[in-house]
Chain A
Amino acid sequence: MLELLKLLMRNTLRHKLRSVLTVFGVGVAVMAFALLRTVVTAWYAGVEASAANRLITRHAVSFVFPLPLAYRDRIAQVPGVSKVTYALWFSGVYIDKNQFFARLAVDSETFFDVYPEFLIDKEQFETFKRERNAAIIGVEIAKRYNLKIGDIMLLEGDVYPGQWQFVVRGIYQPRDQTTDPATMMFHYKYVDERVRQEAPDRAGQIGWYIVRITNPDDAAAVSEAIDKLFENSRAETKTETERAFQQNFLSAASAVITAMNIMSFVIIGIILLVLGNTMIMSARERTHEYAVLKALGFSGAKLFSLIAGESLILSVFGSAVGLLVTFPAVEGFQKALPKGWFPVFYIKPQTILFAVISGLLVGLAASLIPVRRVVATRIVEGLRHVG
């Protein structure tokens, strides 16, 4: 065994330049693979972050249509519902149109009870509740625009026209890696008061309800009960689990995600080509040598372990190099994107595991052609071979 390892290392180091190049080639491809998988993960962040005990009730036609605030109490009476809160997509422009983060008008009394993953200091929260135009922002927003408690944020409204001024009164920390660290939240009451004056026919409307249920297993029954309440009314509702709600967003963008999935497999193909090429070249050069080994009585299995072993060594080193550079590459990619495109962007442990496994499999696969050739070559032909 030790002898075999020694021989493998020697063989690998015979063409130092070629081995180094191959390791880099594999490394580059592994990095591209991990980067693409990470981008796909980022798309799914919303699904990952969804809690099993939360339902979303939205307008049946589309979530861009508002629901009356009056539905709230009726939803709260449905058996199995433990808490109801609501939010409104405020949209608006902060600084310019290229600053992406969610701006929500929320019910400040209940919203943070239903979303415990937004961790906020108790004192900050109390001052937030007392001030009409106060806002709570994610730590990521604070970092991006260098904002502190007490700073003023000016939004130019689009859905709700006009100039809107908010004071930062709280900065929340995300509890989980999948929690969006860049959301801005402020009082629904403040928005509604102004809308009541400027556009009375749009007052008293919210975007969607978030319903916390006591038992996640009742999700289907509770959803049905809620939708039944508003059947044949002016605004019919559609209630589904938070996860299903998020997945619908993704199914709309599925073409892009599919394209990225396909690309990540094309990359594995490229690793295979680079590594396979190296192994074929090495085996060809050593045709003579392998014939000698065969003449000495080496079995097909032994020869296989020689070639596959060398291929595995290259792919393992390549994967290691690739994973090392993945971290700076992912960071660079996020910097290249417009700020806030992906609020949640991190390398999942599964991605790394998957990259390593595919690196190993490719290492084995790349040795198949040369092994077949070596085994098929007759000893006499091999000995006669001139490189």
Chain B
Amino acid sequence: MRVPVKYILRSSSSRRLTTIFTMLGIALVVFVFTAVLMMAHGVQQTLRSTGSDDNVTVVRKAAMSEIMSIIDREAAGIVTNMPEVARSGDGRPLSSKEVVVIINLGKLGAAGISNVTVRGIEEAAFQLRPKVRIVQGRMFEWGAREIIVGAGITKRFVGAQLGEKIKFGGDLWSVVGIFDSEGSGFDSEIWGDIHQISDAFKRSSFSTVTFRLKNPEDMTELVSAFETDNRLQYFVPKREKKFFEEQSEMMAKFIRILGVFITIIFSAGATIGAMITMYGSVANRTVEIGTLRALGFYRRSILLAFLAESLVLSLAGGLVGLALASVLQFFTISTLNFGSFSELAFSFALSPSIIAGALGFALLMGLLGGFLPAVRAARLNIIQALRAV
């Protein structure tokens, strides 16, 4: 004989304040758990969507980020003339030799400065990254000290608005356009003409060379071509997507380790909270439990009833926490990415696996917190329980 579901639901609402407190405790834990995972996921998603699988980025060996990479003109020329590089209709290579530098800009509405990536590009850069579109103003003029600014930067930095001027490399640069790249890492960059940028920073070499692979499966041949060519021995080709993903690793790892540590500790607290409530619930209803047993309910039915009560409580808490966390999706935050050493704007991102993980986690807390009290309830002696005051 099973204890009716209605009884289970009614009993958790009979002591409302205690139920709400326990539920809130679990909700807070689930909120933090979800928020942390969403943050790590957001960083990764942003950088993953920055690169494309069809593109290859060539960097200097051991360079962890674009700013540390140096490719001399000769090597860059060899790379763009390789047979694996796709070509446009007029036979020019679909490649962009780029200079990547970091400048400091003051934050809007807050004290302090941060590092912003400036990328000097060649014309093919837009074909290589079709997601990038000018959403305001116009494209910069080749050969002029003009720049276009990513949507994530224009909102947050002094002087990065349309029509303003930014000073770097000994010159004033006019912001003539704002571009958007569908939430990828390029949104946190400033783009200009490669010749202008390298002239301003007196660079005679490039940072990276990015090109479209003629045949996306040619990666292994490309790697071996680099290994066998003596002139290219200091450089390594990487799929662009993988290259940017690697830059998110350090940040995502830190957030995850911190998150996991904190949530394990938190969940211990919330489980104890649930346990206190459930023990209290058992103690309060000793007579009731005795009556149920006298009416013929089995011990295991009682066990299940109390366990179910605890699970209902934790599931409700989990849903509240998840609902709160999902609101975070509307926020974009920015922080220093240690992988590239520059500012990166990203949003909290929810994924089905995070939802499942959060709810599973809530249920686990309910199960752990409810099990011992439920066992106690089931093991009560009928006569003594009925006599209890």
Residues of A within 8 A of B (CB): 15, 17-18, 21-22, 24-25, 28-29, 31-32, 35-36, 39, 61-65, 91-93, 97, 156-159, 161, 201, 234, 236, 247-256, 259-260, 263, 266-267, 269-271, 273-274, 276-278, 280-281, 284-285, 329, 333, 336-338, 341, 369, 387
Contact = CB atoms under 8 A, between A and B. Distances in A.
B265 A274 contact: no
Contacts of A369: 17
A21 B25 CA distance: 15
Contacts of B115: 62, 64, 252
Contact of A21 (B63, B204, B275, B284): B275
Contacts of B343: 252
Contacts of A28: 265-266, 268-269, 272
Interface stretch (B124-132, B256-264, B289-297, B358-366): B256-264
Contacts of A31: 265
Contact of B112 (A39, A248, A259): A248
A22 B274 CA distance: 11
B329 to A, nearest CB: 15
- Give the top 7 A-B pairs by smallest Cβ distance, nearest first: A251-B112, A252-B336, A25-B272, A255-B335, A252-B114, A277-B21, A32-B265
Contacts of B60: 158, 161
Given A156-B61, A158-B64, A336-B261, 14 more contacts: A28-B266, A36-B262, A62-B115, A234-B202, A248-B104, A248-B114, A252-B113, A252-B336, A256-B255, A270-B25, A270-B28, A273-B273, A277-B18, A280-B18
Contacts of A254: 110, 112, 335
A22 B15 CA distance: 19
B277 A277 contact: yes
Nearest to A329: B265
A337 B277 CA distance: 35
Contact of A61 (B69, B103, B110, B257): B103
A19 B106 CA distance: 53
B176 interface: no
B110 A251 contact: yes
A274 B343 CA distance: 39
Contacts of A253: 335-336
A259 B39 contact: yes
Given A61-B104, A267-B266, A248 B113 contact: yes
18 contacts: A21-B276, A25-B269, A29-B265, A32-B266, A32-B269, A91-B68, A92-B62, A158-B64, A251-B107, A251-B112, A251-B113, A252-B114, A253-B335, A270-B29, A280-B17, A336-B261, A338-B253, A341-B254
A236 B171 CA distance: 12
B276 A277 contact: yes
A325 B213 CA distance: 55
B335 A274 contact: no
Interface residues of B, number: 68
A249 B255 CA distance: 18
A61 B106 CA distance: 11
A65 B338 CA distance: 18
Interface of B: 15, 17-18, 21-22, 24-25, 28-29, 31-32, 35, 39, 60-64, 67-70, 101-104, 107, 110-115, 168-170, 201-202, 204, 234, 250, 253-255, 257-258, 261-262, 265-266, 268-270, 272-273, 275-277, 279-280, 283-284, 333-336, 341, 343
B27 to A, nearest CB: 10
Given A18-B276, A28-B268, A252-B114, A277 B22 contact: yes
B261 to A, nearest CB: 6
A274 B272 contact: yes
A274 B273 contact: yes
> Counting chain A CB atoms within 10 Å of each CB, which of B29, B64, B261 scores highest?
B261
Contacts of B170: 234, 236
A242 B215 CA distance: 52
- For chain A, what secondary structure do more than half of its interface residues adopt (helix, strand, loop), or is it mixed? helix
Residue with the greatest number of chain B CB neighbours at <10 A, chosen from A63, A263, A271, A387: A263
Nearest to A338: B253
A291 to B, nearest CB: 16
B28 A39 contact: no
A359 to B, nearest CB: 13
A274 B276 contact: yes
A64 B102 contact: yes
Contacts of A236: 170
Contact of A274 (B25, B62, B283): B25
Contacts of A274: 25, 269, 272-273, 276
A259 to B, nearest CB: 7
Nearest to B272: A25
Given A35-B265, A281-B18, A256 B273 contact: no
A329 B64 CA distance: 32
A251 B111 contact: yes
A333 B260 CA distance: 10
Given A91-B68, A252-B115, A274-B269, A161 B234 contact: yes
Contact of A62 (B103, B269, B277): B103
A269 B22 contact: no
A147 to B, nearest CB: 21
Contacts of B280: 18, 281
Contacts of A251: 107, 110-114
Given A91-B68, A281-B18, A337-B254, A273 B25 contact: yes
A263 B234 contact: no
B168 A61 contact: yes
Nearest to B70: A161
A268 B376 CA distance: 31
Contacts of A22: 272, 276
A93 B68 CA distance: 12
Contacts of A201: 204
A247 B112 CA distance: 8
A260 B257 CA distance: 13
Nearest to A235: B170
Contacts of A260: 258
